[in-house]
Amino acid sequence: MIVPIFLPHLGCGERCTYCDQDIITDIAEENLETRIAGMPASRTGSFEVGLYGGNIFGLALPALRRLFSCFNDEKHRITGFRISTKPVPLNPEVIEVLKESRVTTIELGIPTFNNETLSLLNRRHTDEDLRRAVFALKNEGFRVALQVMVGLPNEMMADIRETAENIVCLAPSYIRIYPLVVLAGTPLAHAFTAGQFEPISFEDAVKRTIFLYLTALKAGIKTVKMGLTDNEVIKERIIGGSYHPAFGSIVKSTAFYLAVLVKLHEHSLHGDVLVALNPRDIPHLIGHKRSNLNKFREQGVLITWKTAERPPDTFVLTCGRYEVEGDIFDALAPAASLADG
Ligand code: SF4
């Protein structure tokens, strides 16, 4: 079990343009103990602690040590720590403190591998910094994960392809994918209201996320989360971009829909179609609020299903005397071409 602790902006020297500066209260270093006290103690048994929401690499060494010392009372029950951070600044002293403090997993934020966009977002690091951090941390025995984004300013499908290629090449332990949301009060919101930035549509954000998710999955890399959850964002402050509390399940069900559609078109199947699939995939076939079933019906296909002892993410379509096998990766090509526009 992971006990997540959010430490807004801890260690952030500067702010990314999409990050909410007005409504997320910064956590001052002197408030750390108060913030952390009681959080793990309310759990029973042993647990891992996840420290999220800031740039832990940006803390000075004494502050970094103090952060972990806040957990001393629960040391015997904590199996390890995972942290999220920007990939900079990273030096050998920071790595030593992380090792001493039993950090096992480090999630590095890299919204895009396009350096012009990183600069536009005020990230103050490059893709090369990220690569250096990944290799250094892996060499020291840490598990490294990546947090990437879709829907950034000026983003083209080529950027998404580049992100996907880098994910495969860097082989993180897992990834998280966040569609951009525009939050009131941020520099990005000012650009948005001034008409200098137009977010991509929700549909394109879903398709670009599908492309990243499936490319990673094909390479054996798991996506543990897609989209922000309600506790990570104040919905009333969202003025643009792609937010949906069920974003992850919409991505998975849209991928399933596209994969089935590819097979229906390839074999010119229509009318009554029976789908045999793993029980886990039934919600993905049906879609959010039955949207997939409705879309199939609009195209003259009446879907029914039966559970089968099949691997997840695969299916067999039966239509009359035809039997056609498919899997989720059949959605890769349409996701890429539709998102290309
Ligand atoms: S590093 Fe993370 S927490 Fe810090 S400003 Fe950027 S997005 Fe916000």
Q: Which atom of ligand 1 is nearest to the CA of 53?
A: 3
What stretches of 195-340 adopt beta strand conformation (E)? 222-226, 238-241, 271-277, 301-307, 314-319, 322-327
pLDDT score of 232: 74
| Residue 318, SS3 per DSSP | strand
- pLDDT tens for 211-261 read 999 999 999 999 999 998 777 777 888 999 999 999 999 999 999 999 999
12 lines ligand 1 (CB under 6 A): yes
Ordered DSSP codes for 56-82: GGGS-HHHHHHHHHTTGGGGGGEEEEE
Output the domain CATH number for residue 155: 3.20.20.70
Tell me the per-residue pLDDT of 139-197, one tens digit each, with 9 for 90 and over.
Answer: 999 999 999 999 999 999 999 999 999 999 999 999 999 999 999 989 999 999 999 99
Q: Is 121 found in the same domain as 101?
A: yes
* Contact (Cβ atoms closer than 8 angstroms) between residue 243 and residue 300: no
| Best residue for ligand 1 mutational test, from 10, 14, 16 (most atoms within 8 Å of Cβ) | 16
The domain in which residue 26 lies consists of 2-245
CA distance linking residue 163 with residue 165, whole number of Å: 6
Co-location of 233 and 286 in the same domain: no
Segment 5-10 shows an average pLDDT of 85
| Cα–ligand 1 centroid distance for 125 (angstroms) | 12
Identify whether residues 160 and 297 lie together within a single domain. Answer: no
Q: Based on the domain organization, do 208 and 262 belong to the same domain?
A: no
User: What pLDDT, in 10s, does the model give residues 10-52?
Assistant: 888 889 999 985 554 555 555 667 767 666 666 778 999 999 8
Q: Are residues 303 and 185 part of one domain?
A: no
Q: Are residues 164 and 53 in the same domain?
A: yes
Ligand 1 pocket test: which of 5, 9, 18, 83 has the largest number of ligand atoms within 8 Å of its C-beta?
A: 9
Q: Please check whether residues 108 and 159 belong to one and the same domain.
A: yes
153 lines ligand 1 (CB under 6 A): no
The number of domains in the chain is 2
Specify the pTM: 0.93
**Residue 288's domain is classified under what CATH number?**
3.30.2320
Indicate whether 310 and 213 sit together in one domain.
no
State residue 290's pLDDT score: 97
Could you tell me which residue, 199 or 231, shows the higher pLDDT?
A: 199
Same domain, 20 and 114: yes
- Under 8 Å between Cβ of 111 and 153: no
* Residues 95 and 180 both lie in one domain: yes
Which atom of ligand 1 is least distant from the CA of 55? 1
Q: Is 16 in the pocket of ligand 1 (CB under 6 A)?
A: yes
Q: State the pLDDT confidence band at 291, using cuts at 50, 70 and 90.
A: very high
Residue nearest to atom 6 of ligand 1 (CA): 16
Do residues 191 and 47 share a domain? yes
Claim to verify: residue 240 and residue 261 sit in the same structural domain: no
